[in-house]
Structure 1
């Protein structure tokens, strides 16, 4: 046996000790940064509260001082935003809510009724100062609620999460998504001039958080590559003008935020990060880009076939779903199919009419125009009023609806199973749904949703540009920067789906726009929208924010199809919606002031919107439909009659 020298033993022992030290978790520094920044925020709020209590709200100097102190408190808040939003999002709504009243429409609405949530905090306090008859008590109440909410973040239930690395990468993921979708748009900032300065402050603070984390958790640290890219992102923002409307959102997102997100996701996988929070309900751990269609899941297109993974079986579900989509057997008179209104060649909508004709063809058109089915799965709530929580329930409701397809589950299923091809197809699929002993309408609706959902997996030139697989025109780039800045589109239509689902992508937002009945703005649309599903003052005339993707192909626009061109839509928003056109819309959430877009800016905005046209590969309809043992059904037409 070879003799080992004492020197070698000492060196080996030292190496072991150093390796253990390097890989040990010492969270004291990281916790210290957290506690210090929380204390600074608390102190800034107490200073603000003291000033409010001493102020005279009839005195302009006092009001000006309060505004300054609110913005200073917001700067300190930005030092904690990295943790605040993720660790306790409900408390955050008391610290910096964008609305005085919100109705819960998050993913949990799939399991419980929506409920009223009153907001508070710094943004509302800043805006309240502009209200006529503002009082110190009401102003102080908004800030006191924020002070109380911030105490939540000092509780053991929160700080205990900081004692391992898992929460960090999940906080960071949400932070990066908000850099892409929220922080640069002014969505939660009451002063447009403060958007970029607050962004700089926050990014600087996060740089310090990163450094403290790496020192405290060296075994699961951010990589050098990540830190260098973040430093570059910070330098980019430092060099940008203070004016949010001049910020280069395109370069920021393409060159910095999306690559950082990719690296963070890789580390989530490498370090086997585990989540314990419902905030992560719909987000993917494997998506490597913000613009990956798998980033988050709003719906389950497979429905009852959720557990099916075999490609051959999925192909069979798709085949059956396609035939059913074109088959008028689902309607009461065997003359109307899904494809009658959602025409696949027209991006699964109907661009030829304002709204489809009612079932009996004698009572005129439906109340709303036909929404595209493309990218429907990226909403948590469906229909323009958020009536449904699943794609399958939406199918069922349309089939049942007396003015749409006017058929019952029982009758539709009976007719479907009278066709040998359908019956045999579903018999083969039944073994994949052991919870059901016989074919149900859920099998039918799930096949249909699985079929049309595949057309939502395509990408646009904008997506390709974000992935460095293509370039946009200068006009489209300027249009995106307008979309995110001056035009304020991104305060409702969020990256990456450009719909009403914002990070962490667990809820669908509704807006009151003041949509008119005609282009002359003679009257507000009588459609109650969300109010019909969830009656409340705030929900009257509110509609779910749809996606901007493919909108160049999906006219007419708005819930009632009142506008026929993108130019009309841009003018509507530019002029302040219904209220801006003189209609009485007391609860309008769209600002009534003009955006003051120039003719060139409107053109650039539309160029960007067109860059979101996805390169969808459509299919030919089935040549024939399955024959039935009910002879009367064998004269039905592919796609229906009307």
Structure 2
């Protein structure tokens, strides 16, 4: 329960911010000049925050100064996130220590969200010096952004792409409360982000004269009004707001670019410039994750990989193929609690789905393999799984006329087949196992008959009250952070050893490979919930047989909620207080993520 004082502050804040009218008179100005002025405003707001803390102002005044700083940041977030991603991560990363595997260490949390935790729900004056210190760090990051905006080259193409990506960010992270876990002002902040988009689109007279300009500004105004009303996160209609407001805004930005004949960014980037929807089937360019064109996807390479996937000759004594443990009708899992070794004995972990496996920066439950190529070789050579030998497999492939012809067709080098090509072909087939063709996808692309009312309620609960979308990010619904998809997160949930829930599972997860990093004890990757109905049982150890059991675990607050001693649980441990009907609705929604085509 929030304190009465905190509730009064919320009402006071809304009176100050929710009713402002846009009276800006727009003039043509360079993007760099505009951004420098916006960051200067942010810097001023941070100074006022530091001053209010130093002078021991009332907590309401200090919180207001913080919110003012956040809103100033949100108005320029589109540019900092796009042009200066590392600075943005420092400014607004989660209030959790950040893993740096290159240095084999955790970097202490810093930025706005750390400041937020010191202020909400209750500000303790004993935290004054820490609050000043953390606020000064935020000021330094803002200064770094300003210096960069003084020198970097910014053109119309990049600005419009950055604005579109900001709308995607609002959709997938902003309105879900991902970066406002304590203050819960995600809608007010979304309004500020949209205001930033609106201002930038009005900077150029050429843009203002475009036919599509007025409609786009009307959409932005309408959306800002909704968000400035600061609706209840538990009752808000996220689905309608996304489909009726945010998606049309992103599409409007792309339409403006097309009308003005401003070229799209055509590089080999993760999200192609022409993509206008966060839920487009071609949203993510998988080739952007690969080292060079030799590894790129092609129909012939996928077909070759599929043939290898079903070939038992990749294992010792030809006992097992990849397909023997990854069944297409089970979302490429095996339906067992845990996988079986070559002798039929149970292994430690549940077989993960290969659907959408390409959309992770880290394979296996413990994320130990960075690529699908290294994953395939790890499985093939693992003595418990396939016990194959890559050198012997290469000899077999080079003795096969069928495979020699296929590999030469794909790699066009007329040389002996090498193990990296085997790995890449298998990985290419796995990359193809992501079709984004579910009833949910159909709904988001305009088929309003694709979901019923219960499923719609389930989506809104999934994003709102249940907070599922703050870890299972749209549109992939896994732990890879949109909208740039450059990082995949792990979570410590506190999964029990068995259904009784009295003992923590002893699998240490990522910690096994990073024993100096205690925060990784029991950490596992966040899998996609696409095709989740087909991939039972659930969790890394297969402890739960049904989605109802999974939801009960989360509803209670994970391992800590069960009364277990979980050292570094990242899942909020407060009960969600979902009703039985709400749980049913969420499960019905999750089932709409089943792919309807292979």
TM-score between the two structures when normalised by the length of structure 1:
0.81
Q: Which residue of 1 aligns with 2:422?
A: 444
Q: Which residue in the other structure is 1:344 paired with?
A: 328
Deviation at 1:383, TM superposition (A): 1.6
Q: Distance in 2 between matches of 1:429 and 1:196?
A: 50
Match of 1:76 in 2: 72
Change in Cα spacing, 1:158 to 1:205, as seen in structure 2 (3 Å) is closer
Structure number with larger C-alpha Rg:
1
The within-5 A match list for 1:257-268 is 257-266=246-255
Unaligned runs of 5+ in 2: 1-26
Equivalent residue for 2:510, pick from 496, 506, 530: 530
> What's the counterpart of residue 545 of structure 1?
526
State the Cα distance separating 1:216 from its structure 2 match.
7.3
Distance 1:162 1:367 in 2: 52
Aligned match of 2:358: 377
Aligned residue number for residue 109 of structure 1: none
Change (3 A) 1:298 1:142: farther
The TM-score normalised by the length of structure 2 is 0.87
1:354 to 320, 328, 337: 337
* Residue 425 of structure 1, CA deviation: 3.0
- CA, structure 1 residues 216+28, in 2 after alignment: closer, same or farther (shift >3 Å)? farther
* 8 A Cα contact 2:216 2:249, kept in partner: yes
Deviations 1:115-141 (A, max 9, x none): 533332232122135699953222211
Do residues 570 (structure 1) and 551 (structure 2) align?
yes
- RMSD (Å), alpha carbons: 2.9
Does residue 28 in structure 1 map to residue 6 in structure 2? no
Residues 287 and 296 in structure 2, CA contact (< 8 A), matched pair in contact too: no
Q: Say yes or no: does 1:455 pair with 2:445.
A: no
* 1:200 aligns to 2:191 (yes or no): yes
Which of 219, 240, 247 does residue 229 from structure 1 map onto?
A: 219
Which of 460, 471, 474 lines up with 1:495 in the alignment? 474
Verify the 8 A CA contact 1:241 1:247 in the aligned structure 2. no
Instruction: Give the distance between the partners of 1:234 and 1:513, measured in 2 at CA.
Output: 35
Contact 1:214 1:220 in 2 (8 A): no
CA distance in 2: counterparts of 1:458 and 1:94, whole angstroms:
32
Tell which deviates more after alignment, 376-385 or 490-499.
376-385
**1:477 to 2:465 alignment:** no
2:236 maps to which residue? 247
Deviation, structure 1 residue 309: 8.1
The structure whose RCO (Cα within 8 Å, separation 6+) is larger is 1
* Partner of residue 622, structure 1: none
183-192 or 579-588, which deviates more: 183-192
SS at match of 2:318: coil
Q: CA, structure 1 residues 336+76, in 2 after alignment: closer, same or farther (shift >3 Å)?
A: same
Deviations 1:271-296 (A, max 9, x none): 114489xxx94222233321123212
Distance of aligned partners of 1:198 and 1:381 in 2 relative to their CA distance in 1, 3 Å threshold: same
Match of 1:291 in 2: 279
Which ranges in structure 1 are unaligned for 5 or more consecutive residues?
1-25, 56-60, 106-111, 618-642
Q: Which residue in the other structure is 1:516 paired with?
A: 496
Q: Following TM superposition, by how much is the alpha carbon of 1:29 offset from its aligned partner in structure 2, in angstroms?
A: 6.5
2:177 counterpart (170, 186, 196)? 186
Give the one of 117, 121, 146 matched to 1:127. Answer: 117
Is 2:155 the counterpart of 1:171? no
| 2:585 paired residue among 604, 615, 618 | 604
SS in 2 for 1:246: coil
Give the distance between the partners of 1:165 and 1:572, measured in 2 at CA: 48
2:204 maps to which of 191, 214, 220: 214
Asked if the contact 1:196/1:243 (under 8 Å) is kept, the reply is: no
